[in-house]
Amino acid sequence: MRIVVLVSGSGSNLQSVIDASQAGDLPVEIAAVGSDNPDAYGLVRAGTAGIETFSVPLERGADAEQRADWNSRLRDAVLSYDPEVLVSSGFMRIVSAEFLDTLRRADGRAVPMINTHPALLPSFPGAHAVRDALAHGVKVTGCTVHQVDSGVDTGPILAQTPVEVRAEDDEATLHERIKTAERTLLNQVLAQIARNEHGLR
């Protein structure tokens, strides 16, 4: 299964996918890794693994017209690699409904987009999920892989893994354990999609 992965930061989840695919444990080919951040370490990880990379930056304070243009440029960059699935993992941008509607291969087939999220959706959507979980005093949080729709972390849930919140946890320690669970979960879901077990293809 041919995929493109989008990242904004360090790309630790991406590294797990790279390692599993190159070891032959995951039936995917990473066609390219893209980012909104040209300095994202995830691009370095991809380059080290011999994977093509691209960046489509979005200006700070961009207006609606600039955001629409960015969505179009990002879509075109993704589609130039002809992926079957687009993976958002630590990609800290919200794409538009038009981006999703027009994310189609040359033969007209839609390219589903999936996302990892560090909470048990629908609880704690958005960019501060780990902090929000701690602030609410929950005893269990976790991670989710879901299909992306036009809302913020509202798409159909594909799989989840619970993670216990410990009394001594702060945001950093809890997030690190969630990331560990996230890496395993993302690889499991990608393998299931490749086997056509989620109905995305």
What residues are annotated to the active site? 117
d(CA 73, CA 19): 29
Strands (E), 40-111: 52-55, 85-88
Surface-to-core class of residue 9, CB atoms within 10 Å of its CB (0-12 exposed, 13-18 middle, 19+ buried): middle
First CA to last CA across the chain, in angstroms? 10
Phi, psi of 61 (to 5 degrees): 75, 20
Q: Which residues contact 60 (CB under 8 A, 6 or more apart)?
A: none
- CA 153 to the chain's CA centroid: 11
> Torsion-angle region of residue 83: left (phi > 0), alpha (psi -120 to 50) or beta?
beta
Compute the chain's Rg from CA coordinates.
16
